[in-house]
Amino acid sequence: MTRADLPPTPPLPQPQPQTWYRSPPPRRTALLPPAAAALVGGAAGYLAHALAANARAYCDAGWEQGGRFELTFEMLFLVPGCALLALLLALSTRRLPLLLRAVPVLAVLAGVVLWYFAVKGTLAGYPGDSGRCGPDNVPPWWPGWLPA
């Protein structure tokens, strides 16, 4: 038997270099969490607008034509702004594990929703006509332990 009669030997596997960090995920799935964060951000922006509009309508404070136009005009910037903010946060935390990435995004978006409701939804001192809210124009359905 000669050497030509033997089956070829497979190449030896090359050892993988050891690194102290994880390699980034494949390109196909790398864009899914930031896109989901942008969708959640857009939904949070719309939620902030809806909370402010419902509070103004319930207390009848700032719900005349100019107040409704103001909220609608701000929504054009609020929804994309929250989506962009969530996208930037998701991209800046992409080295964290998947479940921990959502924590800073959701915390910042919750803060934005609360801030927008406190600033635009409750117009303190504005004369409300419905008689269902106090002078601070905070609706009774808003939890007292949350700032307004």
Cα 111 → chain centroid: 10
pLDDT tens across 78-107, in order?
999 999 999 999 989 888 887 788 899 999
Inform me whether the pLDDT recorded for 28 exceeds 60: no
Inform me whether the pLDDT recorded for 64 exceeds 60: yes
- Is residue 109 within 8 Å of residue 41, measured between CB atoms? yes
Highest mean pLDDT among 16-20, 81-85, 136-140, 141-145: 81-85
pLDDT, averaged across the chain: 83
Count CB neighbours of 138 within 10 A: 21
Residue at 67: amino acid letter:
G
pLDDT band for 24, please (50, 70, 90 cuts). low
Q: What is the mean pLDDT of residues 113-126?
A: 85
